[in-house]
Amino acid sequence: MASPKISIQQQRKIEIMLTQWKGKLTWATLVARVELELRIQATRQTLCTYVGINLCYKNKKAQLRGATSSLYTKITASEVKLVAQIESLKAEIVVLRRNNSEQLRMIERIFSNANAIPNFDLRALIKKRPEEIQKG
């Protein structure tokens, strides 16, 4: 049996159908929906021969799997390393922020305890040390 010729308008309708597709996508479900909605009896092999339909199908299938078409085709090894580096830096930021918070709490505790000491000048805690004073 010869495969039916699909017009350009019908191809676009099928591509639009694929673009708007929701739920599980298989060639069998696409063939059934094309027959039901557009009254075109075609096989998977027929639909695959049309570049636009085939490409639209692959992109939608990848999108439904969670990979966008640009990510699906353009991820390089250097980008994978960059993503790993970003994740590492994010983890480092979390650790540094936690350390910073702990150090600030310690400083606040020191000042609170020093404030409780009678006749103690808090300015003595923050005065510059001799090793910090630059010789001019």
Domain ranges across the chain: 8-74, 77-118
> Can you give the pLDDT at residue 1?
47
Contact yes or no for 74/64 (Cβ under 8 A): no
> Can you give the pLDDT at residue 67?
62
- Unique residue bearing structure tokens 């936690």: 98
> Can you give the pLDDT at residue 2?
52
Beta-carbon contacts of 134 under 8 Å, excluding residues fewer than 6 positions away, are none
Q: Among the listed ranges 13-17, 20-24, 67-71, which one has the minimum average pLDDT value?
A: 67-71
> Can you give the pLDDT at residue 71?
52
> Can you give the pLDDT at residue 63?
86
Interval 78-94 mean pLDDT: 89
Interval 77-97 mean pLDDT: 89
Supply angle C-alpha 22, 26, 32, rounded to 5: 85
- State yes or no: pLDDT of 103 exceeds 90: yes
